[in-house]
Amino acid sequence: MSQKSKAKQANRGQRHSAAWGKRLSWLLLLFLTEVAFAQFGNVTPRVNGKFARDLSPYLSQTGANQIVKVIVTYRATPQSAQVTKLHNLGGVHDRTLKLVKSVAITIPASALAALEADPQVISVSLDHPMQVADDITDVLTGVPSSWNSGYNGTGIGVAIIDSGINDSHPDLKNSAETTSRVLYHQDFTGTPTTNSSGAQYDLYGHGTHVAGIVGGNGYLSSGNYVGVAPNVSLIDLRALDENGAGTDSTVIAAIEQAIALKNTYNIRVINLSLGRGIAESYTQDPLCQAVESAWKSGIVVVVAAGNYGRLSVDGSNGYGTITAPGNDPFVITVGAMKSNGSSSVSSETLASYSSKGPTTYDHVVKPDIVAPGNDIVSLAAPGATLEEDYPAEFVTGNDGNNDYFTLSGTSMATPVIAGAAALLLQENSALTPDQVKARLMKTAYKVFPDSSVAWVPHLETNFTSFYDLLSVGSGQLNMASAVTNTDLAPATVGAALSPTVVYNPSTGVVSLVYGNSSVASTSVVWGSSVVWGTSVVWGSTVSGSSVVWGASLPWNDNLLSAFSVVWGSSTGTSTQATSVVWGASVGNADAAFSDAGDDEQ
């Protein structure tokens, strides 16, 4: 990960994107998403009982002759008989996803009705397109304190589920520069792993950059661009292709393999710097169920929040834009900060593109934590798509070559937290995922201004960011405090579930609710009955015992149209919520699945 910022180049006022690139402008993205919201803002999570709402176009007469990629979830792990039945319906088997009792299949839309009638089928979801979420960082987050205490990630395996890792980069070798610390490669995309430009394993350039933020050792920069955990072991599970694109099923298959390899490589952390729109509750989403399975197996799952924090539909100011699977309450969801060229944490401000909560449908409080994510210098993958498209972003190493590359986004903030988790697990290998999450959140830096203003050049406007818990979560990573803290959350799985927010229309109060149907609120570590208490974790963003914020936010008034955008027309219960920032149309929603970042002034 880049620790020292490079000097701004002459063209740094231009937007660079970790995924959108020249294929999709910000204005087009904004237009498509607003159109999708306007069309699908008042729909229920599922139609016809078993079908996710974004399958609606395929269930209509107009979609009957189309082919659609879906994930079919069964009551029990599907066997060959179920696959044969799908074949008989004209389906082409893509893969079986035992982790979530599902089959990914390409099938005629006209055959969907037969799945509705199958009593063994629980649900049918689109196999959504998936794309990446895309220096001073170590100083700002207190990481050197961990290094000084002897923690550098040794012995901890971090699975990078991304576009691959080019393991030839010297910064990914051991301290003697003799052996790569990338211990395993596996491709789930079915696409080539080399190209004519010389790229290997990572043909997009995103996964290598992420891997460097987690665990680069700074060899080619004389220690300037060192990862958070510079001796960590890396496991490369390639779920995104040369364009940074994949699907739910490729990511789920990679998660399943990470769980299978957990003991072989001591995989304790999964990094997911990717995301897509939310089409249904996390309780019904196969992708979210997959990350929960990894969490319950003892792996810390760290996920990007998304980069749609500037998306303001009817004045919503970017609230309600968290992407999946960052909407799941088990995982650690990460938003992005920017250093503003300073090594002082007090000078950092929220990156205005960083997505904000609450989550669609479930109204989960996200992000959980923030970390530096803007203008991050990390490892380059020469010959990869990003490097070919944005050559001005190269940074030379001490050998005079283009060894490093600059990207921005919650993609870059996420591996900062993944590396931090690896350091805590090296310090105490007995920590559970919930204990890691709770400690990082409790010890986070919590002193922020009420608001900040950023000039966004390509939008030609100022954007105001607020510092409530739906924007910065529990605060910014403070590794100096985390590594010296010895508090332990309960060992119960789900002890550190992210709470939900509920609006009471009779009082006008928005409050936190802890736990879910399987985890009692009294057992959740930041519940009102637990010693840490609400204010310890969330700081001044929560006033009193339950009120999330006052009336200062621009949309926190039920007389405003923005209020219904975020909260829907419900009485505050998640099952009735109709707030949908992500469109459900196949064409429009796909355009919004990118999770790349933007530079700001």
Catalytic-role residue among 16, 206, 209, 363: 206
206 catalytic? Reply is yes
Q: If we measure between CA atoms, which residue out of 153, 178, 293, 220 comes closest to residue 2?
A: 220
Nearest to 214 by CA among 139, 270, 150, 131: 270
Q: Which residue has the tokens 């505050």?
A: 572
Closest CA to 204 of 9, 23, 5, 33: 23
Question: Is 110 marked active-site?
Answer: no
Cβ contacts of residue 178 below 8 Å, gap of 6+? none
Amino acid found at 77: T
- Give yes or no for a contact between 105 and 86, defined as CB atoms under 8 angstroms apart: yes
Cα diameter, the chain:
66
Question: At which residue do the structure tokens 């659609």 appear?
Answer: 68
Three-class secondary structure of residue 3 per DSSP = strand
Calpha distance 78→100 (Å, rounded): 10
* Count of other CB atoms within 10 angstroms of residue 564: 18
CA distance 35 to 125: 22
Q: What is the DSSP letter of 248?
A: H
Contact (CB, 8 A) for 307 and 354: yes
DSSP states of 57-71: HHHSGGGTT-EEEEE
Phi, psi of 577 (to 5 degrees): -60, 140
162 catalytic per annotation: yes
Distance of CA 383 to the CA centre of its chain: 26
Report the distance separating Cα 53 and Cα 58, nearest Å.
10
Residues 280 and 533: their CA atoms lie apart, in Å, by 31
- CA distance to 16, 466, 468, per residue, from 553 (Å): 29, 8, 9
Contact 302/414 with Cβ under 8 angstroms?
yes
From the candidates 146, 221, 233, 411, give the one annotated as an active-site residue.
411
Distance CA(467)–CA(551), nearest Å, equals 13
HEC string of 275-305 equals: EECCCCCCCCCHHHHHHHHHHHCCCEEEEEC
Q: Which two tokens stand for residue 269?
A: 């952390």
SS3 call for 443:
coil
The Cα–Cα gap between 452 and 466 comes to 7
Q: Which residues pair with 70 in a beta bridge?
A: 105, 126
Catalytic residue among 94, 134, 135, 162: 162
| 368, 359 contact by CB (below 8 A) | no
Q: How far apart are CA 332 and CA 355, in angstroms?
A: 14
* Catalytic positions: 162, 206, 411
